[in-house]
A and B are shown apart, each in its own frame.
Chain A
């Protein structure tokens, strides 16, 4: 007899409600933003000198670099909005099933909107 019991934990076979998606995205964007901190600090330090500023500016005007910057800024915007929602939930606002769904939906729409606005501002 096989004593090692298997565990059913197939995340792809699990149905995620919208509240889980908004919360998961908050977590994922948080990790990616944290990992991007060294780059932003480096870019900030570089840009304190006139030559360095021109160098960083040139670096960030490439299409790929710009796309990455757009992605990171969009993630930052989403992370802030979703973070505020979690703070409101800690204060007891939006903790019902309906309230949670509405909050998640609002946060996702605001995230897409701010990504679009950041895109307009960058290009």
Chain B
């Protein structure tokens, strides 16, 4: 069975603007391959095609792409999940394109850096380790699993328009992950850092982030929790 692909191409050395290029791939009847496998096969046809990938099993978060209009990881998205005759593959929306499907993630990482994504504990170091009850530990479930693939933030219109000021779904999920950690002592200053019109409150509840997250996480809910914490602190 022949499958058609339409792929976003841009080479900064030769192109002034991006274009879509058509490809065809022979896919064995009844077989179902992942989009990443299809891309690797297409790269054998055309070695100039550039994209990122590493672990090929949805853990590293390198191959976030926009496939038939929806962000996701190419390595865990089967071709059968994409409807239509032609599979359209574009880079993650909103970020500058370096080449073909490879985007510059600097803006995304800058927002991540802003939320201080590490445990801060200013108490006297305990003799052995910071203990945490199973209940407190379970509060981190659904937060710590984020692999920073940027599928969510690059599907978020609020992030598209304000990538420098709005922390974005991924960064805010991480922010909440440390706000709710019982071992972290910087809760107040973390909240103070987020207490402005843009950082958290640019979220409009569009929920594109929840729709696309390949790990099934829920940034909208985490953002809601941060807002509640800010509200409780304010009254």
Range for the number of chain A residues in contact with chain B: 20 to 34
- B224 to A8, Cβ gap below 8 A? no
Q: Is B69 an interface residue (CB 8 A)?
A: yes
- A100 to B96, Cβ gap below 8 A? no
Q: Which of A1-56 contact B (CB under 8 A)?
A: 1-3, 5-10, 13-17, 19-20, 23-24, 27
A8-B92, A19-B211 known; A96 vs B204 contact (CB < 8 Å) = no
Q: Of B98, B157, B211, which contacts A17 at CB under 8 A?
A: B211
- A23 to B66, Cβ gap below 8 A? no
- A8 to B204, Cβ gap below 8 A? no
**CB-defined contacts of B86 to chain A, threshold 8 Å:** none
* Nearest A residue to B155, CB-CB: A14
**CB-defined contacts of A17 to chain B, threshold 8 Å:** 207-208, 211
- B206 to A23, Cβ gap below 8 A? yes
- B94 to A20, Cβ gap below 8 A? no
Q: Is A62 an interface residue (CB 8 A)?
A: no
Q: Is A58 an interface residue (CB 8 A)?
A: no
Query: In the complex, what's the smallest C-beta–C-beta distance from B19 to chain A, in angstroms?
Result: 10
Q: Of B93, B98, B208, which contacts A5 at CB under 8 A?
A: B98
* Nearest B residue to A89, CB-CB: B205
* Nearest A residue to B217, CB-CB: A97
**CB-defined contacts of B90 to chain A, threshold 8 Å:** 8, 10, 13
**CB-defined contacts of A89 to chain B, threshold 8 Å:** 205, 220, 224
**CB-defined contacts of B13 to chain A, threshold 8 Å:** 1-2
Q: Which of B202-230 contact A (CB under 8 A)?
A: 204-208, 210-211, 218, 220-221, 224, 227-228
Q: Is A86 an interface residue (CB 8 A)?
A: yes
- A14 to B93, Cβ gap below 8 A? yes
Cross-chain pairs A/B with CB under 8 angstroms, 18 sampled:
A6-B10, A7-B95, A7-B96, A8-B91, A8-B92, A8-B94, A8-B103, A9-B94, A9-B160, A13-B66, A19-B205, A23-B204, A23-B205, A86-B205, A92-B228, A95-B221, A100-B207, A100-B220
Binding site for A on B (CB under 8 A): 8, 10, 12-13, 15-18, 66, 68-70, 88, 90-98, 103-104, 155, 157, 160, 204-208, 210-211, 218, 220-221, 224, 227-228
Contacts beyond the supplied A7-B96, A10-B93: 20 A-B pairs with Cβ under 8 Å: A3-B12, A5-B97, A5-B98, A5-B104, A7-B93, A8-B66, A10-B90, A13-B66, A13-B69, A14-B69, A15-B69, A16-B208, A23-B204, A89-B205, A89-B220, A89-B224, A90-B227, A92-B221, A95-B218, A100-B207
